[in-house]
């Protein structure tokens, strides 16, 4: 990933935080006919040293898992896309001063590289779908649980999936949130996003990384 120094985010807790907040990752691996990519939800086991471990599952009918099983030493890439927003030059003070500005796009993203273990153990898969369900349902007023469905139905569903464990060997974070712009431009971006009721997450990042007072 292209990484200008001022956009680099290296704090592990921040990178892990984006993964948890945006768990639908794009799993990318190499196949005989070129790259293969699938969007799937991931769980992060952050306590596994040194960088954590990702857990997920694929449909057994999805051929990507066989490619991974046949090439266990081949690294994979998982991309987690955080908040993003278009930035118009109209928000920059520099536009009024010189006119020498162009549009851009702000975003936060984490790219994870690692090695994969394919898991077909039924107990592991049962725990995986339970943990994934709790991660998304836990905060709901009336959360759905795997045990709400008939046990025989769940067992039949488990037979149709294959698990993945990815040991994270490298993580790169890129927070491109206007911190390379002059302070007046950063303020203009934050105010512009607010005026258009844009992403609250992006407004927060522009203010935080730009050294602006957070509202």
User: In which band, very low, low, confident or very high, does the pLDDT at 31 lie, cut at 50, 70 and 90?
Assistant: confident
Task: Write down the pTM of the prediction.
Answer: 0.90
For 110, residues 6+ apart whose C-beta sits below 8 A from its C-beta are 15, 18, 19, 79, 80, 82, 171, 172, 173, 174
Instruction: Give the pLDDT score at 211.
Output: 86
Does 20 map to a domain?
A: yes
* Contact yes or no for 108/177 (Cβ under 8 A): yes
> Residue 71: what pLDDT?
87
pLDDT exceeds cutoff 80 at 48: yes
Question: Is the per-residue pLDDT at 204 higher than 90?
Answer: no
Does residue 189 fall inside a structural domain? no
Per-chain mean pLDDT for the chain: 94
CATH number reported for the structural domain that contains residue 62 in this entry: 2.30.110.10
Q: How many domains does the chain have?
A: 1
pLDDT value of residue 215: 53
Q: Over 90: is that where the pLDDT of 98 sits? A: yes
In a domain, 154, yes or no: yes
Per the domain annotation, does 210 fall within a domain? no
In a domain, 213, yes or no: no
Least confident of 9-23, 163-177, 191-205: 191-205
Domain that holds residue 119: 5-181
Residue 36 has pLDDT above 80, yes or no: yes
Q: Is residue 54 part of a domain?
A: yes
């Amino acid at each position: 990933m292209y990484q200008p120094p001022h956009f680099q985010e290296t704090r592990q807790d921040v990178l892990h935080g984006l993964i948890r907040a945006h768990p639908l990752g794009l799993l990318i691996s190499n196949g005989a006919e070129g790259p293969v990519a699938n969007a799937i939800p991931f769980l992060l086991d952050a306590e596994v040293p040194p960088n954590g471990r990702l857990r997920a599952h694929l449909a057994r009918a999805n051929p990507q898992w066989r490619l991974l099983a046949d090439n266990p030493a081949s690294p994979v890439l998982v991309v987690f896309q955080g908040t993003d927003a278009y930035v118009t030059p109209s928000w920059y003070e520099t536009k009024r001063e010189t006119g020498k500005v162009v549009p851009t796009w702000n975003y936060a993203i984490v790219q994870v590289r690692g090695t994969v273990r394919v898991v077909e153990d039924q107990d592991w898969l049962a725990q995986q779908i339970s943990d994934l369900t709790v991660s998304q349902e836990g905060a709901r007023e009336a959360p759905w649980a795997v045990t709400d469905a008939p046990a025989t139905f769940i067992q039949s569903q488990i037979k149709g999936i294959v698990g993945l464990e990815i040991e994270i060997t490298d993580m790169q974070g890129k927070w491109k949130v206007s911190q390379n712009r002059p302070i007046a431009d950063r303020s203009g971006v934050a105010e512009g996003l607010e005026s258009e009721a844009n992403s609250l997450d992006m407004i927060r990042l522009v203010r935080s990384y730009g050294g602006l007072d957070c509202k």
